Structure 1
Amino acid sequence: MRIAVAGGTGTVGRHVVAIARERGHHVVSLSRAEGVDLINGRGLDQALHNVETVIDVSGIQAMSTKKAVDYFTAATQNLLAAGKKAGVTHHVALSIVGIDKANSGLYAGKLVQEDEVKHGGIPWTILRSTQFHEFVPMSLKAASVGPLVFVPMMSTQPVAAKEVAAALVDAAEAGPKGCLPDLGGPRAEQLKVLVAAYLAKTHQKKRIVPLPLPGPMGKAMRNGSLIPAPGSAVGRQTFLEWLDAIDAA
């Protein structure tokens, strides 16, 4: 199968590209570094030539609801338009567990993305996953001020990015299925506990300051709305196992 991976150089995308190639698929990676811009559509028509399936794991790091909505609206519409022109028969999109319960920031953008995919005219599959293990160091980097790190009060169930990637390739191979069961990691955790473990493992001396975020997003973080429901798909690698693997590497 000829597969195009939007965001193919990112946290999940690089695993999607590698796994799909290992399984014998012809893979085209779509990123700005590779001459494709999802926002203005530059390079899309050429990149999607003869592509059968698009896997969209592109994203943006933004707290602003407007920026997130604008990004996912433009990127998804451009991908779908170019896909229809190229004869793409399956559009697979990665989304986030619980976004309909915390409609702001990135989550608002992902809701728009899902709606565009569902009404985009190409048979589709959407997989929602929880945050990746890599979310912890990203949060640490974004929320550190000197010796302090401000950690949102959050219940989470992190999953290995590589396992999410494998599930996306599985979805591509299975054909359009609509909304798949949510995918989360093997254990529910408190974000501050994971940050503490990461700090200890990486020998960083910072004091954690728990931060209750306001609004629907903060409430969803605290009350478990971002945890997959019973019966959801579950990954295998725990956060601590991921940490050990990072240390070994």
Structure 2
Amino acid sequence: MRIAIAGATGVVGRHVLAAAQARGHDVLPLTRSTGHDLARGAGPAGTSLAAALDGVDTVIDVASVQTTSAARSRAFFTAVTSNLLRAEREGGVGHHVALSIVGIDGVDASYFAGKLAQERLVAGGAVPHTILRATQFHEFTEQVTARLSLGRLLTPIPIGRYRPVAAREVGARLVEVAEAAPAGRARDLAGPREERLVEMVRRMFAHDGVRRPVVEFPFPGAYGRASASDVLRGGADADRGAVTFDDWLRSGDHTPIGSRTDAAASTRT
């Protein structure tokens, strides 16, 4: 099967790429480094995105943007999703797979606003599709500390209650979804244990040998209320990943603080 991966170098995308290659698929990364501009709908060397997707069976979209602005998130996901769906329709792609977030119904705010807009476009589009919703990734601890740490003095962490999952498991599940027939909505994927974000950060700091105070604070607005509630944990009927947060900390997927840069750690997907 020929699979195109939008966002193939991101936190989840690199695992999608590895899983697809390991399962013997012919993979086309859709990234700026390969000459694809998804926000403009352009392929390499002035070609169209539709031409780039010639012969592709399935597109897995894990492209993302680092923002807490609802307007910017909507603009990004609307542009990328519309361009991908248009190119897939013109190029004869038979399956569009999109990654979204568990529990965001009714939370049309911040980053979630763009994901809801993406889901609506995919569900209402002409290309047969599957949407996989997953809970927050273990990797979020790296991202949030890189963004919020006040030097070595203090790390404020927003209240967050999740059932986090390893990005590697999400990537593998997306490839499994791509291999199957379009299903509309796949079963949600959540992690094996409930966790509080502030405690995850403290354990990561202890594992990495970082001595820095960590304090928890309420993030304002609908996004903050959702993160502090139970809605982002996933329901009882969600599939469960096997990799715990502590397993992930001990794995090669975690880059210890001190051996990474904040810029490298701040990419979500």
TM-score calculated relative to the size of structure 1: 0.97
Tell me how far 1:220 sits from its aligned partner: 1.2
Q: Which residue of 1 aligns with 2:20?
A: 20
Dislocated runs of 4+, deviation >3 Å: 246-249
Are 2:236 and 1:234 aligned? Answer: no
The 2-side partners of 1:45 and 1:179 are apart by: 25
Q: What SS does structure 1 have at the residue aligned with 2:251?
A: helix
Cα deviation digits, residues 167-193 of structure 1 (max 9, x gap)? 111111111001111111100000000
Q: What SS does structure 1 have at the residue aligned with 2:60?
A: strand
Cα deviation digits, residues 179-213 of structure 1 (max 9, x gap)? 11111110000000000001111111111121111
The 1-side partners of 2:97 and 2:64 are apart by: 14
Tell me how far 1:38 sits from its aligned partner: 0.7
Identity %: 47
The 2-side partners of 1:217 and 1:72 are apart by: 18
CA RMSD between the two structures: 1.3
The 2-side partners of 1:129 and 1:141 are apart by: 22
AA matched with 2:218: P
Tell me how far 1:120 sits from its aligned partner: 1.3
Cα deviation digits, residues 136-190 of structure 1 (max 9, x gap)? 0100011111311110111011101111111111111111001111111100000
Tell me how far 1:47 sits from its aligned partner: 2.2
| Matched positions, count | 249
TM-score calculated relative to the size of structure 2: 0.90
Cα deviation digits, residues 217-241 of structure 1 (max 9, x gap)? 1111112111101111100000001
Are 2:92 and 1:84 aligned? Answer: no
The 2-side partners of 1:248 and 1:184 are apart by: 22
The 1-side partners of 2:120 and 2:98 are apart by: 11
Unaligned runs of 5+ in 1: none
Q: Which residue of 2 aligns with 1:112?
A: 117
The 1-side partners of 2:42 and 2:255 are apart by: 40
Q: Which residue of 2 aligns with 1:11?
A: 11
The 1-side partners of 2:32 and 2:85 are apart by: 18
Q: What SS does structure 1 have at the residue aligned with 2:137?
A: coil
Tell me how far 1:248 sits from its aligned partner: 10
Are the counterparts in 2 of residues 6 and 54 from structure 1 also a CA contact under 8 Å? yes
The 1-side partners of 2:75 and 2:190 are apart by: 27
Aligned 1:19-58 pairs, distance under 5 A: 19-43=19-43, 44-58=49-63
Unaligned runs of 5+ in 2: 44-48, 257-269
Q: Which residue of 2 aligns with 1:221?
A: 227
AA matched with 2:228: R
